Amino acid sequence: MKIATFFTLLSCLALPVPAQTDLEFQTPPPGIMELADYERAPSLSLDSKREYMLLSYRPTYKTLSELKQEEMRLAGLRINPVTNISATLTYSGNLKLRKVSDPAETQVSGLPAAPRIAYVSWSPDEKKIAFTNTAETGVELWVLDVATARAERLTGPVLNANLGEPYSWLRDSRTLLVRTLPADRPPLLNPKVELPKGPTTSEGTGEKSQTRTYQDLLKNPMDEKNFETLVTAELHLVGLDGRSRLFKTADMYAGESVAPGGEYILVTTLRRPFSYIVPLGRFPMRETVYALDGREIKTVNEVPLTEIMPKGFSSVRKGRRSVQWRSDKPATLFFVEALDEGDPQKKADHRDQAWLWDAPFGEEPRPFFRTVQRYAGVTWGDDGTALAFDRWYDTRNAKTYLVDPSAPGKEPRVLHDRNYQDIYSDPGTFATRRLPNGRRVMLIENGKAWLLGEGYTKTGQFPFVDELDLSSLETNRLYRSELKDRKETLVSIEDAAAGEVLTWIQSSTEYPNYYFRNIKTGELRQITAFRNPFESIKDVKREILKYKRKDGVELTGKLYLPAGYDPAKDGKLPLLIWAYPREFKDKDSAGQTSQTPNDFIYPHHGSFIYWVRRGYAVLDDASFPIVGEGKKEPNNTFLKQLRMNAEAAIKAVDGLGVADKDRVAVGGHSYGAFMTANLLTHTDLFACGIARSGAYNRTLTPFGFQGEQRNYWDAPEVYDRISPFMTADKMKKPLLLVHGAADDNPGTFTLQTERYFQALKNLGAPVRMVLLPEESHGYEARENIFHLLWEQDVFLEKCLKKKGD
């Protein structure tokens, strides 16, 4: 590189404010700010009778003060020890109700001032809606009466939500099982005050394991004590009149599930010993069934500490897993056990055995069905019908079985046997219905079931409704969406006999709204009217660009061009490419696309779309597949395939005569940041790049990352070759590194960016690092997001748009 050129690259990072001191939060220019500062539409929840809908309004962004709340990071959790709820939870700030048949919205009365609403749940009879409100000193339980649209507080700030949803409705719709703070809770230990009583010790047992790098783990006995204090709770039965009675005394309650019949409650408790290398999901647990009067019926599962796991994404622990109530029976438990000791490396004709166990558990569990691959779920139907699912990561195969719960041991019938990455062959998702107890089961009428499909094909997207005969297994297509300039998403079947379906319709300029579609008569009735908050880009030009990389894999990307842009008059534009690499086992699946020109144009800080207002061409969501066919590992040719993807994208846009191939920037978040750093290091295709919250040294994630199942000692040359940190001396292009200062994602520690920046800076690379205060892996605070957009805009204007001026 010429010396003059190198100093030009360095100067592009000289922002108009000091790089390290006295930099206050900035806001982006008006064209971007107009798009970023918008009001979010409410989320929607309908009752099963299609009479009422609940509208939940939440702020578009959090504030920095919300992120800076008191926080303790323990066992994979981030807990606010003052309010006893997750410090990362997103709240709604308002609730409204309306009748489906009436567009008028009714403001819910009685809400607390400045509410922070979470864990919203309809009662089984759908006449009430419970929710929590996080007050300054703790979490309260509230109930909303649907008919009157009035909310009332049931409890004071006494709920313990540190392990998630702190209440469950009972079958009677008049009582809730509530997790509360114990009356004699001890004070938390302060690590800044308390002196340790000894060193922290851990040891290996000689067994091999594939344990990934987790964040926020327990580190010492003081953490253990504080964790136990924070998650310990009592269980109380609270009536709608506010009266409370103790159900179970203090313990580390991690989950409560009321049986569909309402007579029993399955309670999960955490046990010791804890671990310093895995989060709480792998701590010892006990699962016990109780009667409504608190009597213990049966301990149905004991789960040991699981620090040791076999290698591979299809590995599971030994013992009973997925213990749950069967949705269509009053009190029958279902669970599975591995037949291969949870080790995918062992040969086995069947991987998992499923069991059924009737309360009060006087008899032994009875075998239900076995899966050829790893169990992946069950959907209950009726006495003679259920669906079972299995899948296998190494082959990307998924199977759907029709099983008969009334005939355990009867051979399941295979409904679907497919590559789950092949979206063109996706048969759809089975429709379900809500039972009076609040559970959902397969929608079955007259021996028929229904599937709702997204309908992706080579020629476009055509969502569909299929009818499946459960005896013959023949399907009949009842409906195929043929909308030309709009996109339809079939949400649920509301009335199979009448042919009524809840659907979601949008276009590139039409904000998504809900409709009822009658697939028999063709009638379409709109039920929401959310407005488009991004009118200023309604005239932006967009097309789905299709192209191929040199090995023939078909690729796509969403190309955006400024409104009114004329190539002949305006010349070629600087090009921004935003992407995220994805792994595939075959080229055909890698070449498929779910992109459609009728998707609503939704600018957000997770893309470059904003910059179409600043005179850039933007290729958003560009395909960057990494393919490893058969027994070939994708990462063995990761760098080669990255280059092919990038070359193909730039060539495709350049071929339209709209982009200056000498002024191309690349960006990505998380694994996309890893991609960006590699592309700048190993190719000359890009003038600069933006890498956000990535991991750059794979020796710091030695037991696998993303789709890589091998550990560092299995493939050290791969880990080293694709780690940008290892080749930091070869990186000469301007790079903007951004990271949340409190990243909670496994593997993408903030340290990854700090160490990579130090290497690049000391090696003379033109690099700027921005650490967003209090942010986790996904950015949420208004101040940080606006500043991020400003940083990116200044960087792109200086390092790309004006490159060569």
- From residue 41, how far is each of 355, 367, 511 by CA, in Å? 44, 48, 10
Is 777 annotated in the active site? yes
- Tell me if 155 sits within 8 A of 141, measured CB to CB: yes
Helix ranges restricted to H, 24-182: 30-36, 64-67
Q: 239-255 b/e with 16+ CB inside 10 Å = b?
A: ebeeebeebbebbbbbb
CB atoms within 10 A of CB 547: 16
CA gap 25, 545 in Å, rounded: 37
In the block, residue with structure tokens 């991020």: 788
Is 670 annotated in the active site? yes
Name the active-site residue from 507, 777, 787, 793.
777
Is 743 annotated in the active site? yes
CA gap 552, 556 in Å, rounded: 13
Question: Interior CA angle at 758 toward 765 and 753, to 5°?
Answer: 100
- Return contacts of 238-242, CB within 8 angstroms, 24+ apart: 238/141, 238/154, 238/155, 238/167, 238/175, 238/176, 238/177, 238/178, 239/174, 239/175, 240/128, 240/143, 240/154, 240/174, 240/175, 242/154, 242/155
Name the active-site residue from 328, 390, 660, 743.
743
Q: Which of 326, 335, 336, 324 is nearest to 289 (CA)?
A: 324
The crossing angle, in degrees rounded to 10, of helices 638-654 and 671-682 is: 80
CA gap 66, 87 in Å, rounded: 9
Q: 672-707 b/e with 16+ CB inside 10 Å = b?
A: bbbbbbbbbbbeebbbbbbbbbbbbbbebbbbbbbb
Q: Which two tokens stand for residue 628?
A: 């490893």
Q: How far, rounded to the nearest angstrom, does the alpha carbon of residue 312 sit from its chain's CA centroid? A: 21
- Tell me if 575 sits within 8 A of 565, measured CB to CB: no
- Tell me if 650 sits within 8 A of 661, measured CB to CB: yes
CA gap 3, 6 in Å, rounded: 5
Cα torsion through 497, 503, 416, 334, rounded to 10: -80
Q: Which two tokens stand for residue 353?
A: 């055995």
E-strand spans in 383-486? 385-392, 397-403, 413-419, 429-430, 432-434, 440-442, 444-445, 448-453, 456-457, 460-461, 464-469, 475-480
Name the active-site residue from 670, 693, 723, 776.
670
> Residue 193 corresponds to which amino acid?
V
Q: Which of 329, 333, 408, 403 is nearest to 367 (CA)?
A: 408
Catalytic annotation, residues? 670, 743, 777
